[in-house]
Amino acid sequence: MPGFERFGAAEKEQVSEVLDTGVLMRYGFDGMRNGTWKALELERDLAKRMQVKHAQTVSSGTAALTVALASAGVGAGDEVLIPTFTFVASFEAILALGAVPILVNIDDTLTLDPDAVAKAVTKRTKVVMPVHMCGSMADLRALKNICDQHGLLLLEDACQAIGGTYEGKPLGSYGDLGCFSFDYVKTITCGEGGAIITDSDLYKQNADRYSDHGHDHNGSDRGAETHPNLGYNFRISELNAAVGVAQLKRLDEFLAVQERNYNILHTALKSIPEVSFRRVPKGGVQSYAFLNFFMPTQQLAKKVHTAFGENGIDACFYWYDNNWHYFRQWEHLLQQKSLGKMAGAVYEQWPDYDRMDFSTSDHWMGRTVSCLIKLGWEADDMESRAQKMAEIIRGLV
């Protein structure tokens, strides 16, 4: 990733079709369209690719999470279990609905620890939200068993992992709902965009309505449509969807490049005794969007990351100190810094995070170095990059 590195004639052709009609909005203006409906086309293609009944495109991955939660009836006072390592959109979507994000420890998959999830379930828990960070998944079977036992929803945040699979099913399709991001730096990009997938007719109907001000989309004139429930504007544009149509058709091409580059780097690093790698659960195939490895100590991981930067190795991350992706830096969440007053249930049910033990998460994140796998790197470039990275690590251990 990201897919913009491979923009070409296919994307231009799809966008031109939209511009030729002059209709940039996904709904209405039927007479001007000449049969061009890019958002609908992207939804059909995505549902088929993900082996589900339904897909709903929206304006972003954050919107996808918000709409998915709302579509399943999540609201004030409901608790949603999320990992300590994710993107801020996870808790933003939850708080937007007046629900309560509950941070839970991760394990060596760098995603939700099922044992920690089982201990975190309360009578107010409504959803377990595994986030397939950096292209690989949680122990989904174990999480599904917990959800089945307690009657909870399993919502997969697969925003960073499109193309991965678990037990033969595309990531995002294993749970009750799955979400994707198509923002500018994702493997499949629309520039801005996202999607929800599900086999539930009800959740699809709710998502379709909620993402467009509650319109029922009953096929009549847009001005005559009714509003069965409240909704908001989370629509994707036809221009963004057109880029996504082209990019989705190229997903296998992109995944092959990611896997090739990943394997080159993995081969170069695996011979170093001090380097170990994140665990991919049995039955899982990652999307190869990142290579994540552990150093023996937090101090050494920080040194490796710093040395990479000093030697011109870009696109590598030390997530422990990252403002967007690890909870230690989420001052706005932990201290409830909101421009408006949060829902009463949020205040009443807010965990005392100062007293909670996240040492297990620190153990894994503190020792993790994460390397983005770019689509723009050719094999020869990747070989030299991998050898340079291995040399840097050997010089520090």
Token digits for 291? 């290579």
CATH topology of domain 3-250: Aspartate Aminotransferase; domain 2 (3.40.640)
Three-class secondary structure of residue 19 per DSSP: helix
Q: Distance between CA 219 and CA 214 in Å, rounded?
A: 14
For the chain, count helices (H), then strands (E).
14, 14
Distances in Å between the Cα of 148 and the Cα atoms of 52, 129, 165, 233 are: 20, 14, 21, 33
Q: What is the pLDDT tens value at each position of the chain, 397 positions in all?
A: 788 999 999 999 999 999 999 999 999 999 999 999 999 999 999 999 999 999 999 999 999 999 999 999 999 999 999 999 999 999 999 999 999 999 999 999 999 999 999 999 999 999 999 999 999 999 999 999 999 999 999 999 999 999 999 999 999 999 999 999 999 999 999 999 999 999 999 999 999 999 999 999 987 678 889 999 999 999 999 999 999 999 999 999 999 999 999 999 999 999 999 999 999 999 999 999 999 999 999 999 999 999 999 999 999 999 999 989 999 999 999 998 988 888 888 988 999 998 999 999 999 999 999 999 999 999 999 999 999 999 999 999 9
Q: In the chain, where are the structural domains located?
A: 3-250, 252-396
DSSP secondary structure, 270-311, as one string:
TTSTT-EEPPPPTTEE---SEEEEE-SSHHHHHHHHHHHHHT
Sign of the dihedral defined by the CA atoms of residues 285, 163, 99, 356, in that order: positive
Q: Distance between CA 364 and CA 295 in Å, rounded?
A: 10
C-beta neighbour count of 110 within 10 angstroms: 25
CATH superfamily, domain at 252-396? Aspartate Aminotransferase, domain 1 (3.90.1150.10)
Reply yes or no: is the peptide bond before residue 101 cis, omega within 30 of 0.
no
Amino acid at 114: P
Fold agreement (3-250, 252-396): no
* Cβ atoms of residues 92 and 324 within 8 Å: no
